[in-house]
Each structure stands twice: as structure tokens, then as C-alpha cells.
Amino acid sequence: MSDSDFEESEWPFGGKGEPEDVPVPSGTARQISNVLARADEQAGEYSFGGQAETLPAAPGLVVNEVGSIPVPITAELAQMLIEKCSKSPFGQNLETKMDEAVRQSWQLEPTQVSFENMAWQSGMEKLGQVVADRLGYRDIPLQCVLYKLLVYGEGGHFVEHQDTEKEDGMIATLVVQLPSSHEGGDLVVYRGGEVRHRHDFGKADGTSAFLPHYAVHYADAEHALEKVTRGYRLALVYSICLPPTMRHLEKAHNKPLSEDLAGLIGNMDDEDELFALLLSHEYTVKNIQDLGTGALKGVDSARFHALEEANTLVPTAKQLQFFIVRLTHKIEFNPGRNMSWIRGNRSESMRWYSISGKSFGRARKSTKFNFLNPGHETLSQLWIPHGVRQEEEYDAKASVKKLKITKYTRYALAMWPTAKHPGHAMEIMPLNVAVQVFHAQKPVDAATLRAFMSNIVARSRAEAGDPAFVREFFNNTKVEMRKKYPLVHCLGLGNLKGNGSLAPVFTKIARTFDWSDFGEAFLDALVSTHKHKDEEEERIGYSSLEMALLFLDGLDSGAARDALFKLVAKKSVDLTSEELCSCKVVGLLLKWVVHNSTDSAVDKVTNTFKQLDPSLLRPSLLENALECFNGGDANDDKMPDAQFPDNAKVEEFLHSPAATMTMTKGVRKFKGVRKFKGFQDASNYAAKWMREAQVNASFEMEASAIYADAVVTITKTPKWFAEGQHTLGQYKVELAQLLEYAGETNSYARKRTRLG
């Protein structure tokens, strides 16, 4: 890897210049970049929190003269605890006062509290490290000193106030809420007189009663505890302090970094559309998928949190959308004379993730990013250290040759204004994201939908490497013609290179929108065949019939399914022997035609098979046909066509070979955790889905409890498999005949000894 890879001054994702040039972003992004230069690794966050993942759910809390306190605390035990507590005072003008209109809670001194769970102390030490990093004191051993145990009952609250310095060197307050069943009681943190942070301690996602949560704010931050409206809230308050020998490191945390960024974000104009921040540290796919932006380290974390906090200060309509993107720039080198290598093709791709780590998939295309450069690095510094060279072998006209490939890969934080999101999703993100964003814009009219479909096909053809189409599409500047014929560029889906990637996209569109709005135009595009200039490439992609089968197999019911089925039935009747043998989805053909068509269509396809020249048949074709009817191995618990509309994970389990699955319910954004509210909730859920019709599946659901968590166990039953065996018998004779014609009876029987 060297600067010579970019001798033409063309750098990844739109960069231009000499290796020693320092790229400068354009527009408002330039000012944002300059402000971010101040957000170094020591720039701390004003307030933050979430689930305390380092802490055990059962702390083993013990209170003197009360005993063990299980959580969430019961009303009876809460009253016993309150009897041992004192009312919480507040400070005003150097005086200590009592007024329940200002503060209503009860408190215990730390000397009255202990923890029997040994994992609590080690968990607090790990949490302290997280807090130190996010406050901007990386590698500084901040001390977490327990100040009080607080109990809030119904009506408990604390009006807006600032904490007094309870310990020498105190810089922040850490609140750890133990699992508590309650409503209300949010901690709100103010900045500049307005609420900037709200901590609900897991109530929104239903985990407050099951898991510990935490919140941190600087000691002098204005904050308030909103009124508890039901239940009891149990919280531990810690003072976060610098060690005595390091108190000179206390920083001016309240500098207006986020305010400066917010002013710039809120005033972005139409030209400030798409910009990105290259991440300085190295990350793995697992890091990003597990933690999202939580995986960011050092300066990357500081810069992201500065942007994130600034975003909360901006009106919703002006806010930025954030995504993590893995950028890959690939250069191929072909062997030349005298052991030399000749630089060949370049390609770029992007793999997209949400900030929580959800993978959206890959987009095989390039785009020009307006890169921020707060570190003022040169083009060479930005890219050359991130290149990896490898050798690959490929078959070029029956002779194996070597190919050198250099890949430059970097993670980046991509961002753009919310108003620009639909357009950018369509242009550069994976097509499934474009469909989801378009779906969220409903209602849409038929013309908008047709134009959207035209753009989908345009991108698919461009990414599949169809230069003729790209020229045709972008040279067509007659806006009136595009408006008049919104699907003109959709014509010719049959045999189009890479057209199989459209199956999930159009399936989702068909499931989402009214078929009458686009069905006729879509079928016209589907039955038309894309013409290749090179006749040898005539069958590069799926045929119209094969595409129809792929779309059909992804639909459950409705007008779209009916229309596609009619098309499949019609086209299957006209199949020639050669077309039948070359069909790439013969399993789907047999499934839909034989299982669902009229007798005449079944007879036609069967007769075509009977009349085949055995030499045309391939074992793989017959294996696909047998697999379709045979249902796989007898010990295989897969239910490939099962449907479970309420939960994609359950549907994925039904499709898998696993026999049982334990699930939970309720929505949680991080790590996919899902929680039932309790055993009754889990029991109701199981009963509901046992009453519902089980589509292409059979299973039982039973509620139970594992420690403090309510769960539902799903177990597959043999009913669905038994019913399928009845359908299988009538096809054995035809399949045996096919095997006989192909001369594969013995060899296949040895591979699969069981047909039913």
C-alpha cells in the first residue's frame, strides 16, 4: 500500500488531491469540523446513562435491622424500610431545610447498607471506568463514594436544584436505580434553562423492574426528580470524585461545544446534504453489531457524543440522521510482463449500520462524501495506513491466474439532515432501507410509487454493472418524458444481470402498497426481456418466469400473489424442454405449478418432463425437485414456509432446524433484549398465539419464569410434518419416473434413502 495507488489524484469516495494535501470540507461541514477539533479525548459528556450492564440484577442488598431486601421491593417491605429511614432534607443558602413541597423521599446512611452479592463491587468498579471515560477522564481512577440510599414512594419527588459538593474533589453524581416497579420518577437534567436529558431508568422498554439502570450528571448541573405516580423507587446515590493527588485535573466541562455545534446544525442550508466523519480507531464487525456507537473509543466517542448532544438541542425537523458505515475501496492489479503488476479496476462499497449496531446490509456503489477533517490529516494519512493487500486466484479461460487486490477499509459516521433522509436512503443506502423509508412516507400516490420503483430498478442495474443502461438513464434529461412514462426504465427485468437482488425489494413493495397502483406496469416490466449486446450473455440473470416465481414465493396472499400466479401458470404451459432443464428455480416451479395450478397446467409440465431427452436432465435439478416434495431429512425440524407475523425472531426459529426456543416480549433497542412485564403477561401472550391459526407450522407455547424473568418457550410439534406426508404420496410415482428417465435412480437412492 502506497501513495502510488492514487497517482491520478483520485482518492476513495470522492477525495481529490495530492497525498500531502489536507482535505477541507465544504459548506457548513467545514465549520462543524473546526468545532469538533476541540472535542478531543478529554471532552466529557454533560449527562448520560442507561442500563447498568456491569451490575447484577440481584445486588444482595442488606439493610441493618431490616435484613435482606429483594428487588423489586414490595410495598410491605418498602414500608418496613421507610420506618428505618429519615426524611430527606435539602440545602438552601447554606441552610438545611425540610419541605415536602420541595423534596419528598427517605434516606439511609451508607453505613446502614451492604451488598452480599460479590459481583456488585466488581460491577461498580467496571461501571466507574465507563463513567470516567464518558466524563472525559480516561485512565483516571475516579472514586465512586456511596452517599445515600434513597426510597421514593408515591408522590416522591425533588424539584429543580443543584447538588452540593458532598466530598472533596467531587465532580459528578452517579445515580444507580435498583430494579424497581414504579411509574413516574424520571430524572431530568437542565442546561441553559431547558430540559436537555431525560433518564427513565428502563421504564419505556419495560426493564426497570428487572435490571439496574444508571444516570450521571455533573455535580453543578441543574436537575430534578419528577413525581413518582405509582409504586416504589429504590436508588443509590454516589459521588464521583477525583483522587486527592489528581484534583488539579478537574476540567471546565460546561464549555459551549454542543451549543456551537447545535447552532451550525440548525442553520444548515440545502447545499449541506451529506457529510461523514472517518473514525480514528480500528473496530471489528462484532464490535459495531454488538454495541453500535457504544463501541467507539477515545476521540471517536468524544466527537460522536458532542454531535449527539448538539442534535438534541436542535428542533426535530432540523436534526441530523446518524449512521455507521463501513467504507471499502478496492483496487485490482493484474499480472503484467516481467513480473510486474498493472493497476486495473477500482470498486467501492458501503456496509451500513444503525447507531445501535443493526446491520442494514451492503450497497455496491460509490458516492462522494463531504468528509469532516477535525484532525487536519492529509489524504495519505487518512487512507494509506488502512490498506491491506492480498492475492487471489481466478480462472481466466481455463488457465489459473493470480490477481492482487488492495482494500482500503475505514468505518465512518455518516450524517445528513432529516429532511434529506428519503433521498439519501434511495441514492446510497441498501435498497431494503430505501423501501422502509419510502413506506414510512405513506400515504403516497400511484405516480410517486411508480417513480420510486423506476429508481429502484435504475440503481439495481447500475450496481449490477450495466454501463449501457447507466448511460441511457442519466443521458435522458427530458423531465417531461420521465413524468409521462415513470416506468420506462423498468422495462426489461427478464435476464437482467443481478435481477435476483430485486426479489426482496419488490416483494416488500407488493406487501405494502396497493397492487392496483403499480401492478399493471410492474407486470409489463417483468414479462419484458432485457436485451444484452453480447449474445453470449443472454442468460446472465433470472428469466421473467424465474423472477415471477421468486416474487410469488415471497407473498402470502392478495391481488399481487394472484396476478403473479396467473403469470406463472401461463408461462409454465409454454415451457420448452430446454427451458425447463435450464430453469434456475425448478423447485419453486414444481412447488407452485404442481401444488396450485389447474389440471391442464400440471399435465403440461408433467408431459414436458416425460418427453425430455434424459441427457438434458441434471441430478441437481432432480434433487431440487425431490427436496421440494420430500421436505428434507426426516430428522430436520425446519418449517420453511412458516409465518409468525408478531415476531421475526420466532419466524426465523420456525424456519430453522431447532426444536425449541425461549423468547421474551416488549421492545428494547439495545442488543435486541425483549422483556415480558411479568408471568401473567407471558401467559396471556402464549394463550393468544395458541388460539391463532398456525400458518405452515405447528407448535406449542408455554409461559414460565427463569429467575426474575418471565419467558415463553416455543416447542415445535409433528402435526405439520404429518400433514405434509399425506400430500407427498401422490407425487412419488411421477418423481420415480423422472429419476428413471434421468438414469439417476441408483445413485440418488444411495444419497437419499428415504422419500417419505
> Stretch 95-102: mean pLDDT, rounded?
84
Is 622's pLDDT higher than 60?
no
- Which pLDDT value is given to residue 316? 87
Which of 524, 469, 482, 753 lies closest to 626, judged by CA?
753
Burial class (CB in 10 A: 0-12, 13-18, 19+), 204: middle
Cell of 280: 480514528
Collapsing DSSP states into helix, strand and coil, what is residue 565? Answer: helix
Is 438's pLDDT higher than 90?
no
Question: Which pLDDT band holds residue 606 (cuts at 50, 70, 90)?
Answer: low
Residue type for position 104: Q
- Which pLDDT value is given to residue 287? 85
The string of pLDDT tens digits covering residues 147-178 is 999 999 999 999 998 887 778 888 899 999 99
Comparison of pLDDT for 235 and 366, the residue scoring more: 235
C-alpha dist (Å) from residue 230 to 76, 135, 676: 14, 33, 19
Comparison of pLDDT for 755 and 433, the residue scoring more: 433
Distance CA 143, CA 576 (A): 79
Cell of 70: 429483594
Residue type for position 58: A
Collapsing DSSP states into helix, strand and coil, what is residue 553? Answer: helix
Residues 6+ apart with CB under 8 A from 241: 142, 143, 145, 167, 168, 169, 170, 171
Cell of 505: 425489494
The string of pLDDT tens digits covering residues 369-383 is 999 999 889 999 999
Is the distance from CB of 433 to CB of 360 less than 8 angstroms? Answer: yes
**Helices and strands in the chain, H and E counts:** 24, 31
Cα-to-chain-centroid distance, residue 739:
45
> Stretch 265-287: mean pLDDT, rounded?
85
Residues 6+ apart with CB under 8 A from 256: none
Residues 6+ apart with CB under 8 A from 324: 288, 292, 293, 352, 353, 354, 355, 357, 411, 412, 413, 414
Of 59-73, 315-329, 562-576, 729-743, where does mean pLDDT reach its minimum?
Answer: 729-743
Collapsing DSSP states into helix, strand and coil, what is residue 661? Answer: strand
> Stretch 444-459: mean pLDDT, rounded?
66
Distance CA 431, CA 519 (A): 20
Comparison of pLDDT for 43 and 730, the residue scoring more: 43
Specify the length of the chain in residues. Answer: 756
Q: What is the dotted CATH code of the domain comprising 47-249?
A: 2.60.120
Comparison of pLDDT for 50 and 441, the residue scoring more: 50
Distance CA 653, CA 339 (A): 53
Of 106-110, 186-190, 604-608, 721-725, where does mean pLDDT reach its minimum?
Answer: 604-608
Of 64-73, 139-148, 162-171, where does mean pLDDT reach its minimum?
Answer: 162-171
Kindly list the domain boundaries of the chain, sorted by start residue: 3-37+257-420, 47-249, 430-612, 613-756
Instruction: Output b/e per residue, 521-551; b: 16+ Cβ within 10 A.
Output: bbbebbbbebebeeeeeeebbbbbbbbbbbb
> Stretch 711-726: mean pLDDT, rounded?
77
Helices 544-553 and 586-596 pack at an angle, to 10 degrees, of 70
Decide the pairing of beta strands 370-372 and 275-278. Answer: parallel
The string of pLDDT tens digits covering residues 559-599 is 888 888 888 777 776 767 666 666 665 667 666 665 555 55
Comparison of pLDDT for 706 and 204, the residue scoring more: 204
Residues 6+ apart with CB under 8 A from 93: none
- Which pLDDT value is given to residue 57? 94
Is the distance from CB of 46 to CB of 191 less than 8 angstroms? Answer: yes
**DSSP H helical segments within 416-543, as ranges?**
421-428, 431-439, 446-463, 467-475, 479-484, 503-512, 515-527
Distance CA 748, CA 218 (A): 72
Count CB neighbours of 155 within 10 A: 12
- Which pLDDT value is given to residue 350? 92
Distance CA 201, CA 215 (A): 8
Is the distance from CB of 556 to CB of 487 less than 8 angstroms? Answer: no
Question: Which pLDDT band holds residue 130 (cuts at 50, 70, 90)?
Answer: very high
Average pLDDT, the chain: 77
Question: Which pLDDT band holds residue 422 (cuts at 50, 70, 90)?
Answer: confident
Most confident of 243-252, 311-320, 670-679, 684-693: 311-320
- Which pLDDT value is given to residue 255? 52
C-alpha dist (Å) from residue 144 to 126, 186, 235, 250: 11, 22, 15, 16
Question: Which pLDDT band holds residue 643 (cuts at 50, 70, 90)?
Answer: confident
Distance CA 635, CA 653 (A): 16
Is 352's pLDDT higher than 50?
yes
Comparison of pLDDT for 328 and 40, the residue scoring more: 328
Element (H, E) at 648: helix 648-655
Which of 169, 126, 112, 118 lies closest to 145, judged by CA?
169
Comparison of pLDDT for 441 and 237, the residue scoring more: 237
Element (H, E) at 176: strand 170-177
- Rounded (5°) CA angle 299-171-303: 15
Count CB neighbours of 248 within 10 A: 6
Is 463's pLDDT higher than 60?
no
Which of 625, 609, 469 lies closest to 532, judged by CA?
469
Residues 6+ apart with CB under 8 A from 129: none
User: Which contacts (CB < 8 Å, 24+ apart) does range 603-611 have?
Assistant: 604/572, 604/573, 605/572, 605/573, 605/575, 605/580, 606/734, 608/575, 608/576, 608/577, 608/580, 609/580, 609/734, 609/737, 609/738, 609/741, 610/737, 610/741, 611/577
- DSSP letter assigned to residue 220: T
